[in-house]
Amino acid sequence: MADAMAPPARQMGAIAWLRKHFFNTWYDAIFSIIFAVLIFWGLQALIGWAFVNAIWRVENKNQCTHDAGACWAVIESRGRLILFGLYPYEEQWRSTLACFAVIITIALSCLPRFWSIRRLPLLWVVGFGAFVLLMRGGFAGLPLVTSEKWGGLSLTIFIFSGVFVIGMPLAVVFALARRSSLPVIAKSTGFFIDIVRSLPLLTILFAAAVIVPLLVPEWLQGSKLMRVVVAFAVFFAAYQAEIIRAGLQSTPDGQAEAASALGMPYWSLVVDILLPQAFRNTLPSTINQAVITFKETSIVTIIGFFEVMASGNAAIGTGEWGNQYIEVYVFLALIYFVFVFGLSRYGAWLEKRMRLGHA
């Protein structure tokens, strides 16, 4: 057994604070020094590369030597290709507007005011609809731009929001079916969900792109982009269904029993009582799933879509800017980071709020 400890020392003032946080024990001190050096060195190198020694504009790309610092001129010269992909040059303002429509939709749906089982779907249908109309055109003098030409960030956003709009209702159906008291329906839904979850997203999307047309009648095929979005939505739904199921399970049985005792019909029970609570309880996981989905949209680059990842690679695929690959990848990473970090911070904030019992 240990000896009796001395009474704790007075812990106040800067030195005590430093001691507590950095030099608690001898190995803490060593780690602190190592990490301090590491952080200092990393920051210095980063700032030197990205700002101090960076070249922002060039007349001639040969001015970009890739030794000293970043050459951000590549973004100036190739930025529009990265952001808009194959979208017609003169119409790119539409692509920008469309992106804002979806970003505003995402921002609005983060506000608790919109958290209702009727308002939220409506908001998304309007936002998504505006996006598609703007991108596609073909009315009011806007030239038609078919989905083969969509590209860059707006394609990424389209895939993300399309997956969300189609996948969310699908996830609810899957979750309810898996929770069904009818064994055949519950078991086969469970089997389907488990299979989908054990397949890589890429193989599902590949199958949707090349196999589905062989298996379904022509009128059901749609364009390749639509098929891929629907397949992605099914994948998303298989994951989201499990989250919703957990939420449904966390609502006390008594509530459902009380509702049926009151003679509430099944759909009203689901829509008015179970789902709102299930969603509310699992909001952080849902946002986490949205974050993962946003990142995974980058996978479609492999099956031949010009989303932001592919157009970024196209920007450095020519010899002209081939050496500025780090700049382009950092630029792409920043684009993803802004979306994903924002969403995940929001999720963390919600989680905290819920733990305090506000949500």
Partner 1 sequence: MKSILTTLAVAGTMALGSVTAVQAKGQGLLDTIIERDSLLCTGHNGSYLGFAEVDGEGKWQGFDIEFCKALATAILGSPDKLQIIPVSWAQRFPSIQSGDIDVIIKVTGWTMTRDTELGLQYSRPYFIGPFYVMSKTELGAKGIADLEGGVFCVNAGTTVERVLTDYMETNGIAYESLAFEKGEELRAAFYAGRCDAIAGFGPFLSATRVNADNPDDFEILGDVLALEPEGIVTRQGEDDFMDVINWMVSALLMAEENGITQANVDEMKANPPSASIERLLGVTPGVGTRLGLQDDWAYNVIKTVGNYGEIYDRTIGDGSRYKLPRGMNNLWNNGGLHYPLVLD
Partner 2 sequence: MAACTTRWFWTDHTFGAAFDVAPNHFGDRFMSQLFASQKFRRTTLQVGFAIAAALLIVSIILTGQRNIADQGIATGFGFLERTTGWPMNFSVIEVSGRSTYARVLWAGLLNTMLVGFLTLVFATILGLLLALMRVSSNTLMKLVGTIYVEVFRNVPVILQVFFWYAILTHLPSPKQAYSIADGIYLSNRGLMFPAPSFSGNDLLLLALAFVALCIGIWASRDRFTATRRWVGAAAIFGVLCAVLLATGREADVPLISSPALKGLRFVGGISLKPEFSALLIGLVLFGASYIGEIIRGGLLSVDRGKLEAGTALGLSSFQINRLIRIPLAFRAMLPSLTNQYVWLMKGTTVGIAIGYPDYFAVVSTSINQSGQTMELMTLLMGGFIVINYSIGFAMNMLNERIKLKGRS
User: Given candidates 18, 220, 258, 334, which one binds partner 1 under the rule CB under 8 A?
Assistant: 220
Binding mask 61-90 for partner 1 (x = CB under 8 A): ----------------xx-xx--xxxxxx-
Contact between 192 and partner 1 per CB under 8 A = no
Contact between 249 and partner 1 per CB under 8 A = no
Q: How far is the CB of 319 from partner 1 (least distance, A)?
A: 4
Contact between 355 and partner 2 per CB under 8 A = no
User: Among residue numbers 254 through 293, which ones bind partner 1 (CB under 8 A)?
Assistant: none
| CB within 8 Å of 96: residues ≥ 6 apart | 154
Contact between 203 and partner 2 per CB under 8 A = yes
* Rounded CA separation 91/142 (Å): 9
State which residue, 6 or 140, has the beta carbon closest to partner 2.
6
Binding mask 150-169 for partner 1 (x = CB under 8 A): -x------------------
Contact between 109 and partner 1 per CB under 8 A = no
User: Among residue numbers 206 through 235, which ones bind partner 2 (CB under 8 A)?
Assistant: 206-207, 210-211, 214-217
Burial class, 191, CB count within 10 angstroms (exposed 0-12 / middle 13-18 / buried 19+): exposed
Q: For residues 132 and 91, is the Cβ–Cβ distance under 8 A?
A: no
Residue 202 interaction partner, one of partner 2, partner 1, none, beta carbon < 5-8 Å per kind: partner 2
Nearest Cα to 95, choosing from 165, 157, 164?
157
Residue 144 per-residue DSSP state: P
Contact between 20 and partner 2 per CB under 8 A = yes
User: Given candidates 99, 172, 309, 315, which one binds partner 2 under the rule CB under 8 A?
Assistant: 309
Its sign, for the CA torsion 108, 110, 116, 122, is positive
Contact between 49 and partner 2 per CB under 8 A = no
* Rounded CA separation 33/304 (Å): 48
128 CA to centre of own chain = 16
Q: How far is the CB of 347 from partner 1 (least distance, A)?
A: 34
Q: What does each C-alpha distance from 190 to 37, 179, 181, 184, 348 come to in angstroms?
A: 52, 9, 13, 10, 30
Instruction: From 121-129, 172-180, 239-247, 297-305, give the range in contact with partner 1 by CB under 8 A.
Output: 297-305
* Rounded CA separation 103/92 (Å): 17
Contact between 52 and partner 1 per CB under 8 A = no
Instruction: From 108-116, 117-125, 210-218, 330-338, give the range in contact with partner 1 by CB under 8 A.
Output: 210-218
Residue 143 per-residue DSSP state: P
Q: For residues 344 and 285, is the Cβ–Cβ distance under 8 A?
A: no
Q: What is the dihedral angle through the alpha carbons of 107, 112, 116, 119, rounded to the nearest 10 degrees?
A: -40
Residue 199 interaction partner, one of partner 1, partner 2, none, beta carbon < 5-8 Å per kind: partner 2
* Rounded CA separation 344/346 (Å): 5
- 3-class SS at 79? helix
State which residue, 127 or 307, has the beta carbon closest to partner 2.
307
User: Given candidates 16, 46, 52, 302, which one binds partner 2 under the rule CB under 8 A?
Assistant: 302
Contact between 296 and partner 2 per CB under 8 A = yes
User: Given candidates 98, 209, 234, 275, which one binds partner 1 under the rule CB under 8 A?
Assistant: 209
Residue 114 per-residue DSSP state: G
DSSP H helix total and E strand total for the chain: 16, 0
Contact between 185 and partner 2 per CB under 8 A = yes
Nearest Cα to 340, choosing from 57, 25, 106?
106
Residues found in the chain: 359
Nearest Cα to 320, choosing from 23, 136, 61?
61
Contact positions vs partner 2 (CB under 8 A): 1-2, 20-22, 24, 28, 31-32, 35-36, 38-39, 181-185, 188, 195, 197-203, 206-207, 210-211, 214-217, 291, 295-299, 301-302, 309, 313, 325-326, 329, 332-333, 336-337, 340-341, 344
Contact positions vs partner 1 (CB under 8 A): 77-78, 80-81, 84-89, 146, 148-149, 151, 209-214, 216-221, 224, 302-306, 310, 313-314, 316-320, 322-323, 325
